[in-house]
Structure 1
Amino acid sequence: MFDPMKGRSSVRRAADAPEGSWGDLRNFFAGKTNGVRLSIEEINDAIADAGAAAGTAGLVDGAQKARRKQ
């Protein structure tokens, strides 16, 4: 991490490093899905769709609350 006040970088301690291995991460969902494999693009699209739906729901909820206050 770079410290602009001191003008130098420092290395994270081993205690701050994440635990586990890439193999553990790769097998995290093993047996927990319906077998469908998604590409990174498909995952990104799903995240964007969920975010848009949540944002739209928030706008609708906010409009309804504003109407109730009137």
Structure 2
Amino acid sequence: PAAIPGGEIKMLGFHTLTLAPIHRELIDISLLSAEETDWLNRYHEQVLQKIGPLIDKDVQSWLRQACTPIGG
């Protein structure tokens, strides 16, 4: 986890409720920090691991492509 200024104060956080690939054409990769790129790649890995086994084989190939890690 990244260090957060004021992180010593107890606060609420967020958990992922839905799992779907984030469409790459909507992402300006040049604006992402290394931490954001890592988060996106970990999120897509989670999507692939949890959703992949539940869908048809032909859709799995699309999902693998949609969840391919991005460079950073």
Q: Same fold (TM over 0.5)?
A: no
Structure of greater Rg: 1
- TM class by shorter chain equals 0.3 to 0.5
TM-score, scaled relative to structure 2: 0.33
Identify, as 1 or 2, the structure richer in strand: 1
Which structure carries more relative contact order (alpha carbon 8 Å, separation 6+)?
2
TM-score, scaled relative to structure 1: 0.34
